[in-house]
Structure 1
Amino acid sequence: MSTKSHLVFIPSPGLGHLVSTVEIAKLLVDRDDRLSVTILIMELPFDSEVDSRVESLSASAAAGIRFVILPRQNAFPDTSPVAFLTHVIESHKADVREAVTDLHRCGSPRLAGLVVDMFCTTMIEVASELSVPSYVFFTSGAAALGLILHLQSLQDEHHMDLTGLEGSDAELDFPCFENPLPAAKFLPAEIFINEGRRLLLSHALRIRETRGILVNTFTELEPRAVEALSGLGAPAVYPVGPLVNIKVESKKGPEGNNSLQGFEILEWLDQQPDASVVFLCFGSFGGFDEDQANEIARALEQSGYRFLWSLRRPPTKGKVEAPSDYANPAEVLPEGFLDRTAGIGRVIGWAPQVAILGHPAIGGFVSHCGWNSTLETIWFGVPVAAWPQYAEQQLNAFELVVELSLAVEIKMDYRRDLTKGSNFVTADKIEGGIRKLMEGDEAGERRKKVKEASEKSRKALMEGGSSYLSLARFVEDVRRR
């Protein structure tokens, strides 16, 4: 009888990282029935919907996947978002150790390794204690991975003072990019904050210690970046994407309950011409205050395009929390806007993003350029207008607009500090980006390029495709161990 092997995945807290973790787990157990997976889930203190989300994800998961929700930890210091996330993860270290040990006690198959999220590298120590290999699941793209590895090398080996880049005009050459990168505009904001830089680059250092890195990308999308990783000292790299949950229930809200709004949105889209609607949505932490919401509204009305806008309230300044829906969007929009645009547009709160992007009526996506959203737009062949908010999203926007010519710019270097507010984008600038996205010869050429990328993304996962073969190499390494 063939020996069975077990992998334990440890995703970073938050739905975005969990969804892609479930997708890679599904691919693994589908590929080899001798593999099983346990996913250990850490809850954010302000996230009250983890149980229902896990229940929804479990329903779509394969038989060989088990979910374990770790005990909730609630006492955390008031600090920056990066440090806050680090505190959450560190506080679960003992719980992870106990959960993995319990798997041995209850007769699980041979533990073949721990697969830790890009922000959970502290859990590599647990793998070492248990004398099993550790792997990293990098939920962003190969270029972002290459960037942090290169920055860590510049600081630790070449003694470069990265803080000097803030506010400078310096353009850096990165092996993972063809074009020079304006550092002050597109490096993650954490690089310019002592605590954030220390934590981010410590992850890069720990990643080098692992046996291999699963990356949520495909070689055809980022050929230069994938090729550059070996020269940056990365261990074995396995591009296994795009990992997108395209079968998620499209008519359910964030609580996992039937959402009347979900039905209404799709019914409204059914009535619109193909490729005619601009969709605006800014991710799990994307929200705008009244002033910025007014500018977006004016831009949409001036453009005259059909639109579907997921408008959410931003986190309270000074607090690390998720956005919420406005009780009454009319209160933060120009007077009469909803009435004047009733024939061409809808303003909603939470949005079933995957179902919307897959609808033929969607002609363009004004996006924060989170990596999951980026892969979803490529999968469905929808062009993007880039309006990044935080984390590595400016970097993703640069890659989409400058490196790959798959997107246009609203404001590529926009930054929103999750605790201090943000800068401001005018209606004229937003309208200009929407028009570039939706009209003219360049828009037609861009749409064609995105469709080609979409075809490549699907072929990568098919038998014989680049990601299919890369996953096979990873499974072989796990089985050999």
Structure 2
Amino acid sequence: MEGTIVLYTYPAIGHIISTVELGKLILCRHGHQFSITVLLPIGFVDSHSISSYIDSISRSHPSISFRRLPPVSVDPASPPRRNGPVTFDFMRKNSANVLQSLRDISAATTVRAFIIDMFCTSALPIARELNIPTYFFFTSGASVLAAFLYLPRHFERSTKSFKDQHGVVLEFPGLPPLKATEMPEPTLDQDNPAYGEMFYICDQLAKVDGILVNTFEALEPKAVELIASGACVPDAPTPPVYCVGPLIADESSRGGNSPVGGQQDCLSWLDKQPRKSVVFLCFGSRGRFSAEQIKEVAVGLEKSGHRFLWVVKNPPGHEQGGGKGDVDLEALMPEGFLERTKERGLVVRSWVPQAAVLRKEAVGGFVTHCGWNSVLEAVAAGLALVAWPLYAEQHMNRNFLVQYMGMAIGVEQRDGDGFVSGDEVERAVRELMESERGRELREKLWAMREKAAEALGDSGSSTAALTKLAQIWSRRLS
């Protein structure tokens, strides 16, 4: 081996999977040049699913080694703090462990590059101290990256919190305007310690050797060109951006997300449905709706008349007393709904193998929370989208998908709580499945499916970007 690429991830299963997929891609294309070491903090969000996943990857990809950092603890209860500040505090407390790990690895081999995700920004001064080239791995899209690169200018100009700027839209060069109140949670409240952390992260985005993005050039050409033009960082050089996606984990590699009960039966059910006839509704691991909202979705689906596969989780506060399968569908649905729709609809408790579902020929559209991994899975499957954002940067993704990329139909959400009426659910589903616009979206996404595959082909744009990076890393002196 000529050297090691060190990846540093936040220890949540979604972050770990994305980081490992990047490591697997590097090994697939350049494994003769590099080994991969993943730094993994422990003591905050450890779980059986994470351990199971790491053990599986260690067996299937022995060239990826995991270096577990010594345990670090934070006390979220004295005084009570929101999750964002605790997360950033936990990562900062790992700085000494990261420093020691990089020194240990450097003593045995040459660290060609140090690649970190956004939650790990506190490690940047350490890498600079050791003179190790450092890159961000941005797990959302290039459009969101463009906005985040420019966001420090809004932080500097804002005299009050975004959450209090009702009716105000934030302007970004070359991007659609974004509602101040729909920005990611850590940016909303100036009194939240996470606000300052996000300011720091966005400011540091432009101060690394490069940014790897989980997207591909044909998916977001305007955003890629916009960043390269320097418009997003008008007062300093913009680091090079490398689109290396779409990085999508197959279902077999997703550690602890095993089927519950008969939920694999949904695949058999889909095999019996007509081609492109089913609307699939799934809202991510954190996507929980109130009982009232669940009933409105049911009303809208029934009125739409279309076939559907719908993943339903317990409302917030109803998880106790059972596992994932403890969802009382009869209590949550309108009276008689399950019986009336049983010939054309299937409601599944808590979880389905999403990537496998999206690849089924029967699925004709996807109602999604706009998490970027879900968006990429839909693109890879060639499916048109209904965009229903819930949290994190998903409102930004919705705006870009609808207004900038022309790849989704957005739902209208009530100001304040994001509630969506049954009539709006019906409208969005009908527009996706029946209208001329829906047909155009399906054709566009089907064509994008081919471009996604081409990007990671031998002569694809993402392969070329990774090759360029490998050449840069190989030139680093031992």
Contact in 1 for aligned 2:181/2:188 (Cα 8 Å): no
SS for the counterpart of 1:208 is helix
Distance 1:118 1:325 in 2: 33
Contact in 1 for aligned 2:163/2:189 (Cα 8 Å): no
Deviations 1:35-89 (A, max 9, x none): 11111233543744211122344455x3421223445545431322322321232
2:251 aligns to what? 248
Instruction: Indicate which of 180, 186, 193 corresponds to 1:184.
Output: 180
Distance 1:379-1:466 versus aligned 2 partners, 3 A rule: same
Distance 1:330 1:366 in 2: 22
Distance 2:71 2:431 in 1: 46
Instruction: Indicate which of 469, 474, 477 corresponds to 1:474.
Output: 469
Distance 1:403 1:468 in 2: 25
Distance 1:436 1:79 in 2: 43
SS for the counterpart of 2:309 is strand
1:6 aligns to what? 4
Contact in 1 for aligned 2:414/2:420 (Cα 8 Å): no
Deviation at 1:368, TM superposition (A): 0.4
Contact in 1 for aligned 2:379/2:452 (Cα 8 Å): yes
Matches within 5 A, 1:342-357: 342-348=342-348, 349-357=350-358
Deviations 1:271-315 (A, max 9, x none): 111111111111121111211111111112222222111111355
Deviation at 1:369, TM superposition (A): 0.2
Deviation at 1:165, TM superposition (A): 7.9
2:142 aligns to what? 142
1:426 aligns to what? 421
Q: Percent identity?
A: 35
Distance 1:229-1:76 versus aligned 2 partners, 3 A rule: farther
Distance 2:162 2:289 in 1: 31
Question: For structure 1, which runs of at least 5 residues remain unmatched after alignment?
Answer: 416-421
SS for the counterpart of 1:120 is helix
Question: For structure 2, which runs of at least 5 residues remain unmatched after alignment?
Answer: none
1:124 aligns to what? 124
1:419 aligns to what? none
Distance 1:351-1:57 versus aligned 2 partners, 3 A rule: farther
| AA aligned opposite 1:54 | I
In the superposition, the TM-score normalised over structure 2's length comes to 0.88
1:447 aligns to what? 442
Distance 1:350 1:229 in 2: 37
1:394 aligns to what? 395
1:40 aligns to what? 39
2:88 aligns to what? 86
Q: Select between 305-314 and 88-97 the one with higher mean Cα deviation.
A: 88-97
1:15 aligns to what? 13
Please, what is the CA RMSD of the aligned residues? 2.6
Distance 1:7 1:385 in 2: 38
Distance 1:430 1:298 in 2: 8
Deviation at 1:133, TM superposition (A): 1.7
Distance 2:308 2:314 in 1: 19
Contact in 2 for aligned 1:36/1:65 (Cα 8 Å): yes
Deviation at 1:160, TM superposition (A): 4.6
Matches within 5 A, 1:360-379: 360-379=361-380
2:152 aligns to what? 152
SS for the counterpart of 1:7 is strand
Contact in 1 for aligned 2:260/2:324 (Cα 8 Å): no
Deviations 1:373-428 (A, max 9, x none): 1111111111111100011100100111111111101236877xxxxxx4422111
Deviation at 1:162, TM superposition (A): 6.2
Deviation at 1:102, TM superposition (A): 4.0
SS for the counterpart of 1:175 is coil
Distance 1:31 1:75 in 2: 39
| AA aligned opposite 1:197 | Y
1:51 aligns to what? 51
Deviations 1:447-478 (A, max 9, x none): 00111221111111112221111111111111
Contact in 1 for aligned 2:113/2:135 (Cα 8 Å): yes
1:239 aligns to what? 243
Matches within 5 A, 1:282-431: 282-316=283-317, 326-348=326-348, 349-411=350-412, 422-431=417-426
Deviations 1:234-258 (A, max 9, x none): 312111111112x3329x8x63556
Deviation at 1:172, TM superposition (A): 3.9
SS for the counterpart of 1:310 is strand
Distance 1:111-1:240 versus aligned 2 partners, 3 A rule: same
Distance 1:353-1:440 versus aligned 2 partners, 3 A rule: same
Distance 1:101-1:235 versus aligned 2 partners, 3 A rule: same
Distance 1:41-1:455 versus aligned 2 partners, 3 A rule: same
1:64 aligns to what? 63
Distance 1:398-1:102 versus aligned 2 partners, 3 A rule: same
1:96 aligns to what? 98
Instruction: Indicate which of 428, 449, 457 corresponds to 2:452.
Output: 457
